[in-house]
Structure 1
Amino acid sequence: MNSYDGDETGGERTFAALPPAAGRGFAQTWWGRAWLDALEGTALDSGQLKAGRRLARAGAVGAVSVRPGRITAVVQDRDRTAHRADVLLQELSAEQWDRFLAMAVERAGHVAALLDREMPTHLVEDAGSAGIELLPGLGDLEPECDCGAWDHCGHTAALCYQLARLLDQDPFVLLLMRGRGENALLEALRTRGDASAGQPARDVEGVDAAEAYAAGDILPSLPGAPALPAEPGVPPSLGTEEGPPEGIDPSALEFLAARTAVRAQRLLAEALREAPRTRAGEPETTVSRDAVRLAAGEPSRAVTDRLAEGSGRGREGLAVAVRAWRHGGAAALAVLDEEWTVRGEGLARARAALESAWDEDERPVLRARANRWTVVDAPVQLRLSRDGRWWPYRKERGRWVPAGGPAQDPATALASAERTRAE
């Protein structure tokens, strides 16, 4: 069971008060979102919805009692005034439950999904085809509160937002509101399954083996690609009433989770492109390079200090590495870190590019060392990457730092280094 599971007595379950929900959404699943859509699409006063969200985020909703047709909780105002809030949802009739059970027995996958605390869309669709609406629609959530409000008030809205968190973790909560608790529902399904097993088998028309084999490689078309989310997902808040275990930094974990969400969205965007960007030749990820990638996400000072120490670069070295990363990712970082000797055909191409980049009377005097050409008597430098591109550098406070992105032409790269120097 998950941490949100409550005590169950007969046809009622009680869930302990949940901790504050600062920094996270109330519904992470599609069925939890559908529950909130029924609330938000019906409430006439958006101000009451905002008040309810504030109360739920602050942890003002007490223990939640769930029973057929009703949920109840005590909700405290900001001034600590307590109100009893109830939200009613119509139970399914005996005949509707009979149809639901018959449908579920025929589709064992539905029951397996519920036991995994999932509510697949096809379960709701199959129930709808049988005339059974499991999820509430607009106007189905009826509020009652001792504050005297005739529509959804902040207290009943807070209760609905809190229940969305419970539904995320256990869809059986919704089925209990519709009239059947988990134990009763599973027992009814078992009884029906046993009865079905005792019936004589029905005659099933067979299929010719040769025809079945011949059609074995005929597959249905793949579904369309999913839509790209508008923005990265928001990781859950790690704040709890108890302190973190020794050696665990919650702020560092939250930052890491947020950066992972950003990276996941970027990778998904690349995967959904018709012509994905090639990664051939991109330097292999290392711990040191990944520390720079994370530091480019502008973490807190404490996290930056840990990254500087863990990468072995120190604060100043990490700041320079971040500048390189922002100009070209791992490839730019490799140019910053690596010094290598240019030989053979690569050296001939580099010299030819340098000769043709300027007219003879404008060509700067360059001093070469390995893959680096430094302008004599000027704090600017060109670095050649292994893929033949030129990267501009300039000297600041005795340290060479990246001055821009790469170019195929050395004159263009050097001009960007001189321009940033002038700025």
Structure 2
Amino acid sequence: MNTRDRDRDPYEKTFPALPPAPGGRGFARTWWGHAWLRALEDSALDGTQVKQGRRYARSGAVGAVSVRPGGLTAVVRDPDGTAHRTDVLVQEFTEAQWDRLLGLAAAEAGYIAALLDREVPPELAEDAAAAGVELLPGIGDLDPRCDCGEWDHCPHTAALCYQVARLLDQDPFVLLLLRGRGERELVDELEERSTAEAQAPQSPADEGIPAAEAFAAGGVRPALPPLPGLPAVPGQPPTLDTEGEPEPDLDVDAVEFLAQAAATEAHRRLAEALAPGHADRAPAAPLTLFEDAVRLTAEAGGFRVRSRLAAATGRSRADMELAVRAWGFGAGPGLAALEDDWTPDRSTLARARAALVEAWADGEAPVLRRVRARWTEAGTDRQLRLGREGRWWPYHREAGRWIPSGPSAPDPGSALEADPAR
């Protein structure tokens, strides 16, 4: 960088105070604006302070915002009018990091065009991260400073960050200025690098190779990259709390629950995929809509969400809770034992009778009366059910309903012994 650039493109910009934000709209619309807010929301130790800061920003409490390499400054007012000098510091890029980032951007004409159109291509951010340059801030990268005395993010620093998300939506060069370079300087340097690259003499390697050689090398493939590591816990989806009224038909609790359930299920499936021997196992059958609804109900903690899932399947709350109990004892096969009143064929029935005889070969056998694939012990409230997979499921009767009693067993004697109603 030279003196001419500094004189022509001042290394500080001041943006006038933005008007209050509408209550029903989020602060960020672009992916990079959302990334900025995630860095705030994931870093703050006190979510209450962050929510209060969002309300401050929405009400217009943030004054003019000064942006310079390495930091933001604004005056943020409390509801009683008390003014606070508020700063948020961001790490500047080193010369080496700028060199790598600008080299990546200049190598793709589309990247330069997108930046000039006030867009940040996600591919540029990904390529930069792979080169060791994190364009967007992450957890702990936003360093709050405020004269209110808080050491973590306070409502004032959070309000400033929310307001800056709106500025970033309009002009991503704000982020690049925070990292250390102004817009004019960046555009000039990108043009110079792009021109130099276009005028560079072609090396023999760029002239291609004979087609025969290309076809001959077609069967040689590089080794696959190593498998990704399994995160310790499922990811946290973004919050939908915008301090405004949601659309009439939008159930925010249900959407937030589904987002978290999807993250949990993705984490479970990744764990299975990374487990030894996964490639040798047959893929599991996809869940039916009812099975998936029962699975989600088992994970849901809120009464409203559980009620909505029951209604969506045409079941009463009591029926759905019974299905959840069966699911807890054996997932899909456990649910099938509850729902599927099937009739075994002759060979299956013969094997079942042999298993019953063997189970009580050394003692007095209970009197069992069969209806299709269900054997009820005479004079008791106990029942055994044979699943299509060949396992036995214990049930007991409460208030006129048959209730799953526990997990399945490979033989009827073990299943009946495990029944807590015994």
In the alignment, the residues of structure 2 paired with residue 261 and residue 34 of structure 1 have an alpha-carbon distance, to the nearest angstrom, of 16
Contact 1:110-1:120 within 8 A present in 2 as well: no
1:3 equivalent in structure 2: none
How far apart are the structure 2 equivalents of 1:28 and 1:406?
50
Number of the residue aligned with 2:325: 323
Q: Matches of 2:94 and 2:122 in 1, distance apart? A: 24
Corresponding residue for 2:204?
204
- Cα distance in 1 between the residues matched to 2:95 and 2:284: 65
Give yes or no for the alignment of 1:57 onto 2:51: yes
Aligned to 2:28: none
Does the aligned pair in 1 maintain the 2:391–2:409 contact within 8 Å? yes
The aligned counterpart of 1:295 is 297
**1:24 corresponds to:** none
Amino acid corresponding to residue 376 of structure 1 in structure 2: A
1:204 to partner: Cα distance = 2.5
**C-alpha distance in 1, partners of 2:405/2:183?**
64
Q: Which amino acid aligns with 2:329?
A: H
In 2, the alpha carbon distance for the partners of 1:90 and 1:346 equals 70
Normalization by structure 1: what TM-score? 0.74
AA aligned opposite 2:121: D
- How many angstroms apart in 1 are the aligned matches of 2:178 and 2:235? 30
Other-structure match for 2:125: 120
8 Å contact kept, 2:38–2:238: no
**Structure 1 position 398, deviation (Å):** 0.5
Opposite residue 189 of structure 1, the aligned amino acid is L
CA pair 33-363 structure 1, distance change in 2 beyond 3 A: same
Would the aligned equivalents of 2:408 and 2:415 in 1 still touch at CA under 8 Å? Answer: yes
Could you report, residue by residue, the CA deviation over 1:270-299 in whole angstroms, capped at 9, with x for unpaired residues? Answer: 1111123956675x5233222211211143
Change (3 A) 1:290 1:31: closer
Match of 2:224, SS? Answer: coil
Percent identical residues: 41
CA–CA separation in structure 2 for the residues paired with 1:141 and 1:281? 44
Residue 136 (structure 1) shift: 8.7
Asked whether the equivalents of residues 117 and 171 of structure 1 are also in contact (C-alpha less than 8 Å), the reply is no
Shift of 1:267: 1.0
Instruction: List per-residue Cα deviations over 1:144-195 (Å, max 9, x = no partner).
Output: 6555x79888578647865896799786443121344568745653465356
Q: TM-score, normalised by structure 2?
A: 0.74
The residue identity in structure 2 corresponding to 1:176 is L
After TM superposition, give the deviation of residue 140 of structure 1 in Å. 10
Asked if the contact 1:85–1:159 (Cα under 8 Å) also holds between the matched residues in 2, the reply is no
Task: Indicate if the aligned counterparts of 2:50 and 2:154 stay in contact, CA closer than 8 A.
Answer: no
Native 8 Å contact 1:395 1:401 kept in 2: yes
Moved more, 377-386 or 238-247: 238-247
Q: Could you report, residue by residue, the CA deviation over 1:88-118 in whole angstroms, capped at 9, with x for unpaired residues? A: 5687799996886455323558657973246
Unaligned runs of 5+ in 1: 1-9, 21-26, 41-48
Number of residue-to-residue matches in the alignment: 390
Mean alpha-carbon deviation: is it higher for 248-257 or for 91-100? 91-100
In structure 2, list runs of 5 or more residues that go unmatched.
1-11, 25-30
Q: CA deviation at 1:30?
A: 12
8 Å contact 2:128–2:135 — kept in the other structure? no
1:259-338 correspondence runs (5 A): 259-276=261-278, 278=281, 282=285, 284-338=286-340
